[in-house]
């Protein structure tokens, strides 16, 4: 799998939130997007997911171009901004509902993903009673449960303690083979700990 981004520009209300970005991502690596709040990290992730339409340029997945050949990337797992689930359902039920859309993993695989992030897959507690850290972990479980080729995690360490960050590192390291993993984080230390290659973004532009 290869992601190719070429001259990607996105303009909102006259201002460029992504400015002529060209970059490639290859399988087997964890890429870390670094930058201040509002620098364009989340917007770049949204563009890769197909959630925003580029004003100029394109995003390609193994030669298939978003917005022309495909509407969304094939086989992607995402956590963008804060995780959001149905508040009255348990973590497992929430993930089961989402998994039913593609219907390609079993209940056991969903439970394994929940267990991986350090949650109890048999916990009946509704999502609204989860702590912030638990919500974040469930969001990560949701992104990885279907064994995607591309994993995009926006601020995955939010609300996680030191052990939580270590656990995420272990999960990402165990998954990196044959996958593209892109994470964003405003905490430089966490990002350096989690990623193989750091990409700096400032004012919507890539910094060398």
- DSSP category for residue 66: B
Is residue 114 within 8 Å of 144, Cβ to Cβ? no
Tell whether residue 49 is a contact of other proteins (CB under 8 A): yes
Tell whether residue 137 is a contact of other proteins (CB under 8 A): no
Considering only 46, 111, 135, 137, the residue that binds other proteins (CB under 8 A) is: 46
- Other Cβ atoms less than 10 A from the Cβ of 115: the count is 13
Tell whether residue 114 is a contact of other proteins (CB under 8 A): no
Is residue 156 within 8 Å of 140, Cβ to Cβ? yes
Smallest separation (angstroms) from other proteins to the CB of 102: 5
Q: Which stretch binds other proteins (CB under 8 A): 25-33, 58-66, 100-108, 168-176?
A: 100-108
Q: How many chain residues touch other proteins (CB under 8 A)?
A: 25
Q: φ, ψ for residue 190 (rounded to 5)?
A: -60, -45
| Structure tokens that stand for 109 in this block | 């695989």
Q: Show contacts with other proteins in window 163-202 (CB under 8 A).
A: none
Instruction: Report the distance separating Cα 168 and Cα 164, nearest Å.
Output: 6
| Residues at the contact surface with other proteins, assessed by CB under 8 A | 12, 46, 49-53, 70-72, 74, 76, 78, 80, 84-86, 88, 97-98, 100-103, 142
């Amino acid at each position: 799998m290869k992601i190719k981004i070429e001259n990607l520009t996105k303009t909102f209300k006259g201002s460029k939130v992504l400015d002529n970005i060209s970059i490639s991502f290859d399988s087997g690596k964890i890429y870390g997007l670094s930058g201040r709040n509002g620098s364009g990290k989340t917007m770049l992730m949204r563009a890769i997911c197909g959630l925003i339409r580029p004003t100029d340029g394109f995003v390609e997945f193994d030669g298939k171009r978003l917005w022309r050949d495909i509407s969304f990337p094939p086989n992607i797992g995402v956590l963008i901004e804060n995780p959001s689930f149905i508040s009255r359902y348990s973590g497992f039920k929430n993930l089961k509902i989402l998994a039913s859309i593609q219907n390609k993993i079993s209940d056991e695989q969903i439970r394994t993903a929940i267990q991986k992030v350090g949650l109890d897959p048999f916990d009946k507690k509704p999502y609204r009673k989860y702590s912030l850290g638990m919500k974040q972990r469930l969001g990560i479980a949701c992104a990885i449960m279907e064994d995607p080729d591309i994993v995009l995690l926006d601020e995955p360490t939010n609300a996680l303690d030191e052990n939580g960050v270590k656990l995420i590192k272990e999960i990402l390291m165990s998954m990196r083979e044959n996958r593209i993993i892109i994470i964003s984080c405003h905490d430089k230390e966490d990002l350096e700990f989690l990623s193989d290659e750091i990409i700096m973004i400032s004012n919507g532009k890539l910094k060398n």
